[in-house]
Amino acid sequence: MGSVLEGDLSVQEEQGAEGRRRERPLSMRERIPALGLKEYWYPALRAKKVTAKRPVTVQLLGEKLVFFRDDNNEVVALHHTCTHRGASLARADIHFKGKLTCPYHGWTFDGKGNLLAVLGEGPQSTLPGSKGTKMRNYPTRTIKGTVFVWMGDGPAVPPEEDLPFELFDPNIVVMTGQHVWKANWRPGIENFTDSHVYYVHRNSLEVLMQSPPALLTILHQGQNRPPFHVVNGRFLCFKPGEGSVLDYMDREKDDSKAAVTKRGFQDVYPALGGAKWPLSPWRLYVSTVCGLFRNMFKPTGPLSKNPEWGSGSHLPGTLHIDYHRWSYTRYQVPIDEKTTNNYFFCAWRGDTAWQRFFWPLYFRLFFGWKMIRNFSSQDGEMAAITDYSAPERLSQSDLFPREWRRFVVEHARDLKRPTPAA
């Protein structure tokens, strides 16, 4: 599989051997924007953090936005610099309900970015409504307590095209969390199902609590990976029934002992003098003991039969895993080129009062820590030490980063169709 798409016209200048400038095709990796794909909806913050008294500033995709509540008490977003002389609205005042006033000269805007008054000039000012005074407004939508913002220059698409289906199901309970990584968003999304899983996460509770067959599958999967396919031009996932590791995770198998006996837990490496890895089989014993806990949470079937939201990666940079009883979503939101905000959604069905009470409590006391702080933070540590521009020598187990890059280049709105400038 080549690293450059056939017919790719994107070019980059480089220094030739004779000192002359020449152009070469950009690889798929180089075409993926360091600050993220802009023509999409992104989670920004919890709505409860935005009060009627003070604005809140959030940086997404290299841009600073200021959030406040408009006349209808809905959270809206404007660009953070005033159109007058560039003063930051991070320190803006809210003297009037639903209006934002620049702290420098008193330019006052509504939720759509229209200039309504200039307090420094008085009511006779001729500036309101004149050309060049309107602030950039970013479309927002508050769903289940989270404010989502459209970052693109083009018209906003319906949020249902980009956001997890759980957010639109009234019977599903959604809990959220955030964790900032000191890393670019691209290596953070590209490690899905490659060979790092058992090595990096070998001491995480998420791995140790898998059943013995799942643990063996993660450990012994080797270089080969099941094929991927694209759903609706927005979701990249394993082809159903191809035997991916996700088919084994969070499930108990009747042949657990037989699988362990047949393969063995430790591999022998002749090049290392016959040394074994893992060094000890203790993780297998922990997995067996954890079976008592797993039996309390038997899978009940997938949350949705929608093939676009199974287990895989969704544009613009979302990892979604359907564990059948619950689902886990990690939304990669670039802050700048060196920092990424990981916005998490953990969802369960809340068909009964007991479910609506138990699952949020379980998330706060255990599951949220296990998935966000214990498991995903290990991915963040590896992404932070990865030089995304360094030369690569990919393995067969790196099928996902290959396919993800091709998927982005061929299907992302930013690269598929140019959008007009704001």
Q: Note the pLDDT tens digit of each residue in 225-241.
A: 888 999 999 999 988 76
Helix (H, G, I), strand (E, B), or coil: what is residue 246?
Answer: helix
pLDDT band at 4 (very low <50, low <70, confident <90, very high): very low
In DSSP terms, 67 is beta-bridged to 56, 77
Give the residue from 50, 151, 60, 7 showing the smallest Cα distance to 335.
Answer: 60
Whether 320 contacts 313, CB under 8 Å:
yes
Amino acid 348: pLDDT = 87
State the average pLDDT over residues 189-211: 88
State the average pLDDT over residues 182-207: 91
Least confident of 46-60, 122-136, 146-160, 310-324: 310-324
Amino acid 261: pLDDT = 55
Question: Could you please report the per-residue DSSP string of 124-143?
Answer: T-S-TT-TT-PPPEE-EEEE
* pLDDT (tens digit per residue) in 319-365: 999 887 788 999 999 999 999 999 999 998 877 888 888 888 888 89
Instruction: State the average pLDDT for the chain.
Output: 86
Residue with the larger pLDDT of the pair 382 and 206 = 382
Give the residue from 212, 183, 177 showing the smallest Cα distance to 343.
Answer: 177
Amino acid 298: pLDDT = 60
And the tokens for 300?
């009940």
Least confident of 12-26, 181-195, 333-347: 12-26
Give the residue from 397, 375, 382 showing the smallest Cα distance to 221.
Answer: 397
Write b or e for each residue in 353-372: b if 16 or more Cβ atoms lie within 10 A of its Cβ, otherwise e: eeeeeebbebbeeebbeebb
pLDDT band at 35 (very low <50, low <70, confident <90, very high): very high
Q: How far apart are CA 174 and CA 345, in angstroms?
A: 6
Amino acid 3: pLDDT = 35
Amino acid 287: pLDDT = 84
pLDDT band at 156 (very low <50, low <70, confident <90, very high): very high
State the average pLDDT over residues 169-192: 93
Q: Based on the number of CB atoms within 10 Å of its own CB, is 134 exposed (0-12), middle (13-18) or buried (19 or more)?
A: middle
* Residue 14 pLDDT greater than 60, yes or no: no
Q: Strands of 27-86 (E only): list them.
A: 41-46, 56-60, 63-69, 75-79
